[in-house]
Amino acid sequence: MNQQEEIQGLAVLVRDLRKHKNVTLGELAERIGRSVGFLSQVERGLSRPTVADLTAISEALGVPTTYFYNDSKPRALPWVTRPDERRTLYYAAGVTDVLVSPGMSAGFSMLESILDPGASSGDGHLDDSSEQGGFVLEGELTVWYGDAAEPVILGPRDSFQLPPHAQFRYANLTASQTRVLWVFT
């Protein structure tokens, strides 16, 4: 799939899940603190949500964020995934997530997050029900965790682990690309 097809696929997943849960655009907008217009654009594939937006949408609709990575591509080996078989989400603010796990039914899922220079998870803190951690493959990741005034800067081979509902956000504040292997329960 190309990037536009992936964006349209996400739009359909968000819209169909919202409708399945009998939630109006207005109700969802209120729950996540965004405008109806913004959500309408996301559902039509005209705008891309930030990581924080999609996390808030998933929490408001009662599904894990990894729900949006579901893909039905057949694989020769169900326990292996090849680069051309992976689902990719293109977020606003310069973040791209690639599902590297072969499936979503295991106890954990793995993503490769690619952050362009200046990219971020969004202005708000993430509040995901999953336990998660990351391993910085290349570049530099700045993480704001909880109420700490100072962020933590992680470089290649640094890792972190956060409990469910940890309040945090992250960014690549450098002029080079950052890649992180992310693991979710």
**In the prediction, which pLDDT does 117 show?**
98
pTM of the full structure: 0.82
Rounded CA-CA distance 150/4 in Å is: 37
- For 3-69, CATH number out of 3.30.70.270, 1.10.1530.10, 3.30.450.20, 1.10.260.40 equals 1.10.260.40
Taking a C-beta distance cutoff of 8 angstroms, is the pair 9, 70 a contact? no
Domains 3-69 and 83-184 share a fold: no
Quick check: 30 pLDDT over 70? yes
Hey, what CATH class is 83-184 in?
mainly beta
Q: Where are the domains of the chain?
A: 3-69, 83-184
Residue 35: pLDDT above 60?
Answer: yes
pLDDT tops 60 at residue 72: no
